Every structure is written in structure tokens, then in C-alpha cells.
Structure 1
Amino acid sequence: MPFVLQKRYSTRLRKIILRSKVSKYGLFSGASLGAAFLMANSSIGPGFLTQTTVFTQQLMASFGFVILVSFLLDIGAQLNTWRILTVSELRAQDLSNKLLPGLGYLIAALIVMGGFTFNIANIAGCGLGVNVLTGLSFQSGAIISCIAALLLFWIREMDKMLDNFTRIAGTAKIILTLVIAISSHPPVLQALHHTFVPETLSTQAIVTIVGGTVGGYITFSGAHRLLDAGIKGKENIKQVNKSAISGIVISGLMRFILFFAVLGVLTQGAVLDHDNPPASVFRFAAGEFGFKVFGIVLWSAAISSVIGAAYTSVSFLKTFHPLLVKHERLCISIFIIISTLVFVFIGKPRQLLLLAGMVNGLILPLALAVLLIASTKSRLMNGYQHPRWMQMAGWIVVLVMGWMGSVAIVEWMKG
């Protein structure tokens, strides 16, 4: 073969190989983008809808500043968490146990308890979504949704199902909520102005929003998904970074869109229903059509959060014993079924969604501090040196969230 042809052939071959690597591990690959959407969908649940609506009602346009601050804290927390775990090639509980024997069990217990608390609320959200769409009781809607989630997890190729379902559900939520936001005619310039120059501030709002976005189990969901997909090691740092940032951008975009929708109807004089404020927003903006859209958004938000909470909570337990790995689907199913039974027989705790966000906001600084300490141990990080600027950013998140979380809990207990 002539030299020129050999050169062209080898150049084309390298391009094909490069494309195949990007397809397998890049930002828009199934697992990488799926991890971003799994994390984002885990955060965009019933609590997300309720928290955003309630705090917009309290702070009006200044809530944009809360979203902005939360976004920066989320980036600092998630970039550190995903990078440390994927480079160490260990799940959070295993890395913690190697740092200090027994510490991983404590972290796992806190994460699973937070995930279980959120999952009861997620199941309740599923029931409410079905009720809006069909008129069935909350309990019946919860049971139907439980069965749907179980069927999804028992599909043979569960990993592909997670990636595809989370992308479809996440995209649908954003598009439908955007339609409502446009219909509500929000004061965009005013909102953007107060996003950078707020009139009022709320520590509780920041802690709750950060806790509801990357607190507790949520930030680990995407990192553990990447590990399950084999995307790990120093050679995949760029893909991990892109996936981590994409997850925060997706959830942040949805938060801003919902914020605009709520602000729009409030500036028009809407009075929101105390028991179900997000539904009032959609109904005021687009009538009965908007109310049905809310049902779709709520159900897709809730069912994807059920999947994310169950998958991630079990991922914190399965490495403790070989039987848990072998029967992962069964463990996930039991987690979902128990969450459903608690809701059906006990009911939905009224303040659960807001409290769960604050509690997960307190878990975040503890778990992140453990990972940052572990990142300084060469024996745990396969010779990788975690950048100093990321260490500093991570410790800022730990200190800010630790202080704000304590203040928020004290304020909440005072009433």
C-alpha cells in the first residue's frame, strides 16, 4: 500500500477509534449523560417542586439569588464528590471504610435514612400525580406507581433502562414546565436583577435548596452510576467533570424555569393553595390544561426520584455483603415496596419535604469532608493528587453548609 494511502488509512482509523471512545465515555454517551440525568432527576422530585414554589412565594424575585448561590455550592460539592470517587474507583462507603474502618457504615446509614425519608415523599408525589391525571385516590396512584417502578427495575438491561428513562423524563419535565413559565408571563428583567442584587435573604432557603439538589444520596447517585458503568480512573476525569457539571446545569435550569413560572403567577395576584402550591401555579397559568400538565410533571418527577433514591440507597449497601450484590434488584424492590407501604398506611407527613431537604443539607458537609480527607491519601487515590483549588472549593462548601445547616435547623425548630 502506498505511503500516502497508509497515512490516510491510519488517520481515518484513529478518528474512528476516537469516535468510539467518545461514544462510550463522552458527555453524550448513554452512561455519562445517563448519570447526569439520574442525579438531576433524583433532585427534581416532589420536594423540588414544593421547595421552589414555597421559597419563591416567600422571597419573590430575590429567590433567584438563592438559586445562584446554591448552584455555585452544588458545583463545588458535586465536582469534588464525583471526581474523588471515580478516580479512587470506590463507592463512597467503601472509600470511607478504607479511610477509617466503620466510617463507611455510618455514612451509608445516614444516606440510606435520608433516601428512605425522601422516597416516602416521592411515592406520595406519584400518588398525587396519578390523582390529578385520573381522579384515583392518592393511595391507589401510589400503588400503581410502585408497580411501574418495579417493572422498570426488573427489565433485563436495567442500566440502559435507567439511562434512557431518566433522559426522557428529565427532558419532558423541563419542556412542560417551560410552557407553563411562558404562559405565566414572568417579570424576567426584575428576576434577573434581584438574582444578583437581592432584597431579602434566607439561610434556610439556601440550605434546603442545596440539600435538595446535592444533599444526602442525590450527589452520589450519578457517581455510583458511573462506577457501575466502568467509567472510572484518571483517564476519564474530563468525562466525569462534564457529566457532573451537566447534572447540576440540568437541575439548575429546571429550578430557574419553575422559579419564573411561580413568580409570574404571583405577580399577577395568584393565591396559592397551602396544601399543594405547585399545582396552583400550573392551574393559574394555563387553567385545567395546566393542571393536567402539572400532573404529568409531578408524576414524572416523582417516579424518577423514586428510581434514583432506591438505586442509590441500595448502592450504599450492596458492597457490604456478596448476597446484596447478587440480589440487587430484589433489594431495590423491597426498598420501594416498604416506602409505598409507609405512605399507604401512615400517610404523607406534611413538613417532610422541606425537613428532608434540610436534613440532607446537613449530611452533605459531613460526607464531603470525609471524601476530601480521603483525597489526600495517596494509598486510596491510586497515586492521583486532587487539585488544591478543588480542595479549597470543597472545604468552603463544607464550612458554609455546616454553618448554614445548623442555623437553619435551629430556626426551623423555633417555628
Structure 2
Amino acid sequence: MNEQVSPEKEREGEVSVPGPATVASGTVGFVKSRRASLIGAIFMMATSAIGPGFITQTATFTATLGAAFAFGILVSIVIDFIVQANIWQIITLSGKRAAELANAAIPFSGFILSVLVIVGGLVFNIGNIAGAGLGLNAMLGLDPKIGGAISALLAIAIFLSRRAGLLMDRAMIVFGLLMITLTVVVAIIASPPVGEALRQTVMPDTIDFAAITTIVGGTIGGYITYAGAHKLLDSGAAGPEHIKQVTNSAFMGIAVTGIMRYVLFLAFLGVTASGVMLDIAANPAAQAFESAAGEWGMRAFGLVLWAAGISSVIGAAFTSVSFMTVFSKKLDQRRRGWVTVVFILIGLAAYLTMGTTPVALLVFAGGFNGLILPIGFTVFMYIAWFRRDLLGGHRIQMWLLCLGSLATVLTWYMGVVSFSKIFEFLAA
């Protein structure tokens, strides 16, 4: 990923971080400065906050929990910030990628982490293909299975073509802005009970740990935890001199995505509060947008859901496969490309042969990655507290370390109490 680029090509705009890497790390293009790279990361975090998994999970749990799910949204935002800020700082200070750093701290733990990320990434990718299929279903009326197959094959074509990847990067900006605008409009039209939602954000009538674990896993679990931090290394933001910049970027990114998550929740809440019953086994998010904004809303929603799904297929596959390098240094760029293609095909085959509905797959993917989140995070909390030698002798801010420790305990607790219920999602 560190190939040399001629100034001529760079000026012509023909070169960017290869499409899969760009999408996986949540940034747009190969920027010319570290500051621009971080701004790009923040922007893409905002647009990716409403990807296929989160959209479907939010629609599903809002339909079942109502305004009480506002508490789950709040908890997910807080945990997201704590996890991202800690991981970004730890990896930035160490200058090592996640698996290498874990192995240096605890022998063989990096291998275990890689296996978990790869398996979690595969589960995510099955769900992403399902999400892309749901998008084409809402947009064109295609069977989700057929739509998923078309999307997976197109994702492979995009991955293999750098030029197409650059176009995809730029298109995602347009799709992201469209989704943000559409979500805000639908939220206004839906007229949600804002007062009730605000009350239950801090005083919920019901707390569903399976729902919270799923929404946390869908937004920060698995490969997502490390993708942004690895991008920071690629942009040259390694070392203690960048810690303040890294922390500010994490805070700004999560703040923007948090607002978008809450607005999306309000859009769904307004629809369900008006008495509309969403079929959570079909495509509840599309139903909600259609109910609030008519057929044009459902078609536009399908377009952006498909775009988010297909970009997530590429991103999850590329980042998951990047963890395989810890097992073999012979896995060079060319070989990784073909392994990534196989990774996508395996996800497609699993999706086509499973009897589970696309919605259930998307919900389960978040829940599964929420279960494995505390395992890797525990390793990095150990490094932050006891292995300062791997961080150049520097320490993470004490307030962030303490919050990280609390988040570790909380994610372990949520994982334990919701374990069996999360696997029940597959039977939906």
C-alpha cells in the first residue's frame, strides 16, 4: 500500500489509495497532507454511520423497543468514542499494526486477534452482501438474493480496477450526502416524539443488552475497530506528536456520526409512533422511508443502501484479509488481491445458501462482532496500562484509560448476558 506515485500522476488525479483500502479505512482519496487525510476520515465516518447494518439494526430495534432504544443509541455512541480514541492513540504511539502490536505484548495474541477479525469480517461481509441485496430490492424490486449476487460480483470488479475504485470513492461522497439529506427530511416529515425520545435516552423504560451489543458491534466491532487506526499509520500520523490531533479527530468523527445515528433513529421512531407496523423480517428500513416519504423515498433509500452495502463489501474484505499478513509475510499485494476476491466469493456463497433472511443476517453480523469486540480491546487496554515500553514510554491520558477500562468491563458484561439471544437472530 506504500507504492511510489509520480508527481505527474498525482496532479492528474489518477492515483488514490487503492479503492478497497480507501473504502475500508473510511477516507476519500489519497490526500496530500496529514490534516486533509484526517478531515477525509471524519467525513467518511459521518457517511458510513448509516451503512446497511446500522440502518437495518436501528429499524429493527426501534420497531420492537420504540423510544427506549434511544438509550442504546447513546450507549453505542459513548462506547464508540472510548474504543476508537484508545485504539487510535495506542496504535499511533506504537507505530505498529494491531496484530503485530498484540503479538509483541502477549505472544500469539495477535494471531488470535487476526482470526477473530477475519471471522468477524466474513460474518460482516455476508451481512453486507445481504444489505446490498436489500438496497436493490428497494430500488428496483429485485429478489434480494439476486441483488446480493450482482452486488458481490460488481464489488469484485471494482476491487480489481483501481480506476473504478477512485470513481467509487467519489460516488460515495454523493451517496453519503444524499443519505444524510434524505434522513433529515424523513425525520422531519415523520414528526417523531422528540421529548419522549430525549427522556428515554437517559431514563429508558427497557434496557435490551442484546440490542445494545448488536448496535455497538455493527458500528465499531470486528475490523472496524482497527481500520481507522491503520489508516492513520498509512497517512504518517505515528508518534506522540500526533496524539492531540488523533484524539480530536476521533472525537469529531464520533460526534458527527452520533448525531446522524440519532437522527436516523428519530426518523424510524416517527414512523412507528404514528402506528405504522414494520415487518422486521422483510425490509423494515425501506418500509419506514416509504411510509414517511412515499415511493421516491423508498427508491432513493434503496440507492444509498446499495451503495453503502457494496462499499462495505469491499472494505470488510480488504481489511480482514490485511490481517492475514501476520501469518505469512509472503502474502504480498498481488496475492492479497486474489485472496480478497476469494473472501468476497465465500461470503456470497454463504449468503446464497443460508436460509436466514437478509435482515436477520445484518442484525446477527452486528451482534457477533459485538461479542468479539471486548476480546481485542482487552489486549490493548493491557498494553496501555502495563506495556508502555511498546508505546515509546508514553502513556495514554489517564481519563481515557479509565473510561477504556470501564468500557472493557461493560462490553464483556453485555456480551455475556446477550450471547444466546444474539445467536437466536439467525433463526429469525
Report the TM-score range of the alignment, normalised by the length of the smaller protein: 0.7 to 0.9
Match of 1:3 in 2: none
Is 2:373 aligned against 1:364?
Answer: yes
Match of 1:338 in 2: 346
Give the distance between the partners of 2:337 and 2:178, measured in 1 at CA: 26
Give the distance between the partners of 1:287 and 1:414, measured in 2 at CA: 33
Give the distance between the partners of 1:211 and 1:384, measured in 2 at CA: 29
Match of 2:397 in 1: 387
Give the distance between the partners of 2:176 and 2:316, measured in 1 at CA: 15
**Count of paired positions:** 391
5+ residue gaps, structure 1: 1-21
Look up the equivalent residue of 1:101 and give its one-letter code.
P
Is 2:402 aligned against 1:396?
Answer: no
Give the distance between the partners of 1:387 and 1:196, measured in 2 at CA: 27
Deviation at 1:166, TM superposition (A): 4.8
Q: 1:290 aligns with which of 271, 274, 297?
A: 297
Look up the equivalent residue of 2:345 and give its one-letter code.
I
CA contact (8 A) 1:132 1:291 kept: yes
Relative to 1, partners in 2 of residues 1:37 and 1:161: Cα closer, same or farther, differing over 3 Å?
Answer: farther
CA contact (8 A) 2:137 2:143 kept: yes
Match of 1:129 in 2: 135
CA contact (8 A) 1:262 1:281 kept: yes
Look up the equivalent residue of 1:383 and give its one-letter code.
G
Look up the equivalent residue of 1:387 and give its one-letter code.
Q
Look up the equivalent residue of 2:262 and give its one-letter code.
F
Question: How is 1:295-306 mapped onto 2 (pairs within 5 angstroms)?
Answer: 295-306=302-313
Q: 2:204 aligns with which of 198, 202, 211?
A: 198
Match of 2:417 in 1: 407
Match of 1:15 in 2: none
Q: Deviations over 1:28-53 (max 9, x none)?
A: x1x32343455566664322112111
Q: Deviations over 1:297-341 (max 9, x none)?
A: 321221232132122212212344333232233332222222123
Give the distance between the partners of 1:379 and 1:134, measured in 2 at CA: 56
CA contact (8 A) 2:140 2:299 kept: no
Relative to 1, partners in 2 of residues 1:405 and 1:37: Cα closer, same or farther, differing over 3 Å?
Answer: farther
CA contact (8 A) 1:177 1:297 kept: no
CA contact (8 A) 2:49 2:261 kept: no
Relative to 1, partners in 2 of residues 1:135 and 1:355: Cα closer, same or farther, differing over 3 Å?
Answer: closer
Look up the equivalent residue of 1:289 and give its one-letter code.
W
Q: Deviations over 1:72-113 (max 9, x none)?
A: 111111100111112111111110111122110100101110
Deviation at 1:342, TM superposition (A): 2.3
Q: 1:309 aligns with which of 312, 316, 335?
A: 316
Give the distance between the partners of 1:126 and 1:39, measured in 2 at CA: 19
Deviation at 1:153, TM superposition (A): 2.6
CA contact (8 A) 1:38 1:222 kept: no
Deviation at 1:367, TM superposition (A): 0.7
Q: 2:88 aligns with which of 82, 88, 94?
A: 82
Deviation at 1:405, TM superposition (A): 1.2
Relative to 1, partners in 2 of residues 1:411 and 1:298: Cα closer, same or farther, differing over 3 Å?
Answer: same
CA contact (8 A) 1:224 1:312 kept: no
Relative to 1, partners in 2 of residues 1:161 and 1:87: Cα closer, same or farther, differing over 3 Å?
Answer: farther
Look up the equivalent residue of 2:250 and give its one-letter code.
A
Q: Deviations over 1:231-272 (max 9, x none)?
A: 222222223223322332343223212211111111211011
Give the distance between the partners of 2:243 and 2:344, measured in 1 at CA: 33
Give the distance between the partners of 1:293 and 1:151, measured in 2 at CA: 24
Match of 2:15 in 1: none
Deviation at 1:359, TM superposition (A): 2.1
Relative to 1, partners in 2 of residues 1:159 and 1:41: Cα closer, same or farther, differing over 3 Å?
Answer: same
Give the distance between the partners of 2:298 and 2:46, measured in 1 at CA: 24
CA contact (8 A) 2:63 2:280 kept: no
Q: 2:272 aligns with which of 238, 255, 266?
A: 266
Is 2:153 aligned against 1:147?
Answer: yes
Give the distance between the partners of 2:423 and 2:115, measured in 1 at CA: 24
Give the distance between the partners of 1:139 and 1:255, measured in 2 at CA: 27
CA contact (8 A) 1:282 1:293 kept: no
Give the distance between the partners of 1:45 and 1:336, measured in 2 at CA: 18
CA contact (8 A) 1:39 1:221 kept: no
Is 2:182 aligned against 1:176?
Answer: yes
Give the distance between the partners of 1:119 and 1:42, measured in 2 at CA: 15
Look up the equivalent residue of 2:201 and give its one-letter code.
T
Give the distance between the partners of 2:175 and 2:347, measured in 1 at CA: 21
Relative to 1, partners in 2 of residues 1:294 and 1:158: Cα closer, same or farther, differing over 3 Å?
Answer: closer
Deviation at 1:165, TM superposition (A): 5.2
Q: 1:68 aligns with which of 74, 80, 99?
A: 74
Look up the equivalent residue of 1:51 and give its one-letter code.
Q
Identity fraction in percent:
43
CA contact (8 A) 1:43 1:212 kept: no
SS of residue paired to 1:400 = helix
Match of 2:214 in 1: 208
Deviation at 1:160, TM superposition (A): 6.2
Give the distance between the partners of 1:153 and 1:396, measured in 2 at CA: 39
CA contact (8 A) 2:186 2:267 kept: yes
RMSD of equivalent CA atoms? 2.5
Relative to 1, partners in 2 of residues 1:95 and 1:159: Cα closer, same or farther, differing over 3 Å?
Answer: farther
Relative to 1, partners in 2 of residues 1:153 and 1:252: Cα closer, same or farther, differing over 3 Å?
Answer: same
SS of residue paired to 2:192 = coil
Look up the equivalent residue of 1:140 and give its one-letter code.
I
Match of 1:25 in 2: 34
Give the distance between the partners of 1:380 and 1:330, measured in 2 at CA: 33
Greater Rg by CA: 1
SS of residue paired to 1:383 = coil
SS of residue paired to 1:323 = coil
Is 2:362 aligned against 1:353?
Answer: yes
Is 2:275 aligned against 1:281?
Answer: no
Deviation at 1:403, TM superposition (A): 0.8
